Amino acid sequence: MVKVLVQINSLALGGTQINAVDLAAEVMHYGYESVLVGPRDTIPDGPSLFEIAKQRGIDVEAFDRPRTTLEGALLMSKLARRHKASMVHIYGSWTARPAWWGPCLGGRRPLALTIYEMAVAPETPKSPALIVGTRYLLEDLAGRVSGVELISPPVDTFRDDCETVDTRHFLAMHELTARQLKIVMVTRLDEDMKATGVEHAIEAMERLTATDAVLVVVGTGDAAARLARQAEIANRRQGRKSVVMVGPMSDPRAAYAAADIVIGMGGSAARALSFGKPLIVAGEFGWYKPFNPQTSKELFRNSFWSDRSMEKPVDRLVSALEEILVDPTGRGELGKFGRRFAVENFSLAAMGAELASIYARSLREYGFRVWSRDLSGEISSIRRWVGATMEPVVRGTRKLGATAHARTMQNGGRE
């Protein structure tokens, strides 16, 4: 087995982290054994990535967050030596420099970089194999010297299938019935990116004509308490429990399987399609679009996300929900189309094979020549940092010199 050190930026439950675990499990079939490492200060109080990794048979280790690039380089070198890693894979561009300066220094280990954000920063290293999750980034970066590869955030279409999941315990635990129309959101409840969509969905529940529909929200985050209060107010106004706040689940498959409609973005939207559920894609700032044969290419190209907004977003969400809720036959057709789309476009088996091929190519081709593509840029960064650090000292020295000169002049040239 070839050992791969994989650094992730959080040990909390989240799309990118779960993708990293799933892909690590999948590339084992191709002879790659991964150990995932992440900062200790991101471990949540409740369910974490450790539970997901244990289910998949993947090792995860926490480290104390380094304060500088040098500390990070030393830490990553130590981890690579201890785990006898033959290559390093980083998720997120902002932690690539410690790996480049540390375990990959001089090209002694290949470096691969996955960026599942919506943009790639200009200062991102040029030497690593670059993996992105959106087709528009693949197109935008087509001229990159070291190339760019597309690996869509993967979905395990074998596990994420209604045929493999029993929903009865989940429904009973949250006092839901099979007959209720369930609108499900599985998401981080964070103020950044996610909370707006949950707010709009709670508001939408008070406007739906389908009075037996219920919104089921799975997840936690820094906006959880505020959103729970909003849900309580909505329930009180309607005189029924139209919004159910489930909290975090390390395995939310039962929530997806129980859904009649899913509202989601990114990886959550992709999993909804794997479960054969009608999907309304939620943008970051209040933007909603149903997934169907007419919109599928556009939504997939943007990884089921948007940074746009729309006028009267709650009204648009209500309209999209009601169009699907009133048509059970249409829901079934949308679900079948979504399931086929998931299997064909982002199944874990296909994405794992692609990652394994990138690992193999990196091990063959990465060396000092490739590594050194970033050398001049790194030297320039160091010079800028030294210049910025020294500037206050120089200014202070000049000021002291000027003061001393003034005193000398005041004393007739004697000091």
Q: What DSSP line would sit under 292-361, residue for residue?
A: STTTHHHHHHTTS------SSHHHHHHHHHHHHHT-HHHHHHHHHHHHHHHHHH-BHHHHHHHHHHHHHH
The token duo for 44 is 């949540």
What per-residue confidence (pLDDT) applies to 121? 86
Asked if residues 113 and 93 have their Cβ atoms less than 8 Å apart, the reply is yes
pTM of this structure: 0.81
Q: Indicate whether 199 pLDDT > 90.
A: yes
Measured CA to CA, the distance from residue 321 to residue 389 in angstroms comes to 56
Give the percent of the chain with pLDDT over 90.
Answer: 82
Q: What is the mean pLDDT of residues 218-229?
A: 96
The region of weakest confidence among 100-109, 138-147, 366-375 is 138-147
Measured CA to CA, the distance from residue 92 to residue 88 in angstroms comes to 13
Measured CA to CA, the distance from residue 113 to residue 123 in angstroms comes to 13
Side chain identity, residue 259: A
Q: What is the mean pLDDT of residues 212-226?
A: 96
Side chain identity, residue 27: V
Measured CA to CA, the distance from residue 184 to residue 202 in angstroms comes to 11
Cα separation of the two ends of the chain: 74
Angle between helices 15-26 and 266-274 (to 10 degrees): 50
What region, left, alpha or beta, does residue 209 occupy, with left being phi > 0 and alpha being psi -120 to 50 degrees?
alpha
Q: What is the mean pLDDT of residues 218-246?
A: 97
Asked if residues 129 and 147 have their Cβ atoms less than 8 Å apart, the reply is yes
CATH code 3.40.50.170 for 2-154+348-375? no
Q: What are phi and psi of 119, to 5 degrees?
A: -150, 155
The region of weakest confidence among 178-187, 217-226, 264-273, 381-390 is 381-390
Is the fold of 2-154+348-375 the same as that of 162-345? yes
Q: Indicate whether 387 pLDDT > 90.
A: no
Asked if residues 3 and 86 have their Cβ atoms less than 8 Å apart, the reply is yes
The string of pLDDT tens digits covering residues 302-354 is 999 999 999 999 999 999 999 999 999 999 999 999 999 999 999 999 999 99
Higher-confidence residue of 99 and 386: namely: 99
The domain segmentation of the chain, as residue ranges, is 2-154+348-375, 162-345
Query: DSSP letters along 157-190, please?
Result: TTTSSGGG---HHHHHHTT--TTS-EEEEE----
Q: Indicate whether 398 pLDDT > 60.
A: no
What per-residue confidence (pLDDT) applies to 415? 37
Please report which confidence band the pLDDT of residue 392 belongs to, taking 50, 70 and 90 as the band edges: low
Distances (CA, A) of 158 to 142, 161, 272, 322: 32, 6, 13, 30
What's the Rg (C-alpha) of the chain?
A: 25
What per-residue confidence (pLDDT) applies to 94? 77
What per-residue confidence (pLDDT) applies to 389? 62
What per-residue confidence (pLDDT) applies to 143? 85
Options 3.40.50.11540, 3.40.190.10, 3.40.50.2000, 3.40.50.300; CATH of 162-345: 3.40.50.2000
Asked if residues 59 and 28 have their Cβ atoms less than 8 Å apart, the reply is no
Higher-confidence residue of 388 and 58: namely: 58
Side chain identity, residue 74: L
Q: Are strands 59-63 and 288-290 parallel, antiparallel or unpaired?
A: unpaired
Asked if residues 214 and 176 have their Cβ atoms less than 8 Å apart, the reply is yes
What region, left, alpha or beta, does residue 248 occupy, with left being phi > 0 and alpha being psi -120 to 50 degrees?
beta
The string of pLDDT tens digits covering residues 264-317 is 999 999 999 999 999 999 999 999 999 999 999 999 999 999 999 999 999 999
